[in-house]
Structure 1
Amino acid sequence: MRRRTARRTRLIAVTVVAAVCQATPAPAAVGPPDGVITWGASAYRIGESVADRGYRMVVHTSVGGRDPRIRLSNAFGDRPVTFDSVYAGLQLKGAQLARGSNRRLTFDGSSSVTLEPGSTVYSDPVPGPLAAGSNLVVSLHTPDAAGPVTGHSMALQTSYATQGDHTAEESGANWPDTVGSWFYLDNVSVRTAAATGSVIALGDSITDGWQSTGDLNRRWPDYLARRLQKAHITVKGVADEGISGNKVLADGAGPSALNRLDRDVLSQPGVHTVFLFEGVNDLKAHSGVTAQDLIHGYGEIVDRAHDAGRCVVVSTIAPFKGWPEWDPAAETVRQEVNTYIRTHSDEFDAVTDFDHILRSPYDHERMLPFFDGGDHIHPNDKGMQAMADAVDVNSLDCARN
């Protein structure tokens, strides 16, 4: 008990500083009564809304099930936003949908819904199956949207946009514009067997997939999801809650991991395990963050997840020598943090050593060139697959509920 109290006392100072830098809207979501998350993307402010705009967004499911439902978010809006038409179908090619698959979504029985600033909403379940590895397409229209838009900018997935309401159309003819972001949509869940659960990858741009090949689902959580489909465990789903540039302790590229933990992780349905892989952005920012600061931050996340009945797997911080912001001081902190993670594994439910997997055997401060996406911090497709292959899938099959 003393250790947890010390962690939380130390984090008060850290989180107060972060709050001064950027106010974070309080999460207003409540998870659905049942279901398991099959796809997710962390929401943050990604620009300004456009009225009478339609978005046709492609997302890739991890775990299969029945009766899918989506979650829409206005978490970072400063005024209400109305969705007057929302559909979901299966992708055939590009913006074109498989014949007969496009179905209207309702919200408490209504075909339209208005979200107040800071809030989220789940759709009603759509009867029927949704297979693992499906390209689900969610089309929505906002008649009078204005102000900040909530979404996820770096989707690494081609989606589509248009003016006017063409959400009910299965043809892609009226969806001429391609976009690389997801707008308002941050969750898809399905109903599964009661024992089935998901793991949420809480991370930064490496988890978000930067330097992996777009439109092919080659982020490390995607590779992990494919492994889980073949594994003889109950954890089958994977939700990628990575944000490029994200930090553990301070807001910046979206809310910090500490400040978004409730909305992006603990409010999600069917989550058994949290996979925490963050810290490099705290180090390369040269903001004076120490190893002890990061260790306390990890501890706060672990404590809150455990209090919510979730297990936590923590990874070491990967090497980044060669990145412009690398320096010996940041490297020293990285090594101290990694040593702590390796030698205090009893504080976590499991440890995965991504540093060991990705580093060069000739220079432990640098990524192995075979895995390097070219900027010395983000792995390529081979590196992403190696990370996923390094995860002990049995360590994910853990539940504290």
Structure 2
Amino acid sequence: MALAAALGARLFVDPRLSPSGKVACATCHDPARAHGPPNGLAVQLAGGDLRHPGLRAVPSIRYLQAVPAFTEHFFESEEEADESVDNGASGGLTWDGRVDRGKEQARIPLLSDFEMANTSPAMVVSEALAAGYGPDIDAAGGGGAAADPDRAFATILDALAIYEQDWRTFYPYTSKYDAWLAGKATLSGAEERGLKLFEAEDKGNCASCHFSTPGLDGTPPQFTDYGMIALGLPMNPEIPANADPAWHDLGLCGPLRTDLSDVSAYCGLFRTPTLRNVATRRVFFHNGVLHDLREAVAFYATRDTDPGRWYPTLPDGTVVKFNDLPPRYMGNVNMDPPFGGRPGGQPALSDAEIDDVVAFLGTLTDGWSEPPPQR
């Protein structure tokens, strides 16, 4: 395991595993940004010529260690361990939950034409051997692994998956909130107010999907329920694919996932990500439509009371809500609080309350340390 983890750590940052020689896993999953995107682009440009745009915003790959395998019926209750509650479609390691294991996830960018752009597993192996990884592949995968393309590719995938299970790097739980839970930190007034708003069912109601309390077994909160949800986001014109009016990213029912394409109730649903390290991001939601954390919180609070702020308006004054979904799927959009309300009505959160929630979200960033005492 140690040999495989060491190999995975080197492969993760090595752009020589791409035909361009310029794209590594770390190119999009920047360690300095909590293994999320390194910039504010809605989608990254990569591929063989570094000009191929992706279809979705790059997610962080931290805190994936507890994500369950995808299921259409996830039975769990965070409150009383009542496993009679069906939370619906949940789990999986991607925005649409189409793979369950780290090695399956690692395969996707290696072979995607708009990511690392290898045309086959054999091509990945050839690049790894040309970069001098043959002895490391033999050491991690067993004697002769480097000479067998199938074994070599499997070893590369395993190595990346094992490296991404290193808790010090990918799930350290070193945020101020973790320290506060352990009684080793004090929240500021704004952070404490933000936490209360985050958890209050009649205010932010964020904790209904982004669980904020430790598990019954004492495990730290993951700030996600792993569920699938349709938020009714505005269409993002920054994604080149959206220039085609017939194209839609429907998440769980396609286009990148194909096994559930005929389940209309799943169209527009994407997996709820963890909010850990959310304050380090410069792009939000699966389509990267927002670039500011405060705006992301404000969207939840005012999507329905001030729709003109988020969606296009026709010449006759009609606001085209949920314009990233075909009309037949708009009924899938979540209406639970803080969503709901009528245009012009009172939003779930005031401007000051939005500021407080943002302050709380800042406590979820890894690497917190107690400030030195003032002299």
Q: Same fold (TM over 0.5)?
A: no
Normalized per residue, the structure richer in helix is 2
TM-score, structure 2 as length reference: 0.29
Normalized per residue, the structure richer in strand is 1
TM-score, structure 1 as length reference: 0.28
Mark the structure with the bigger radius of gyration: 2
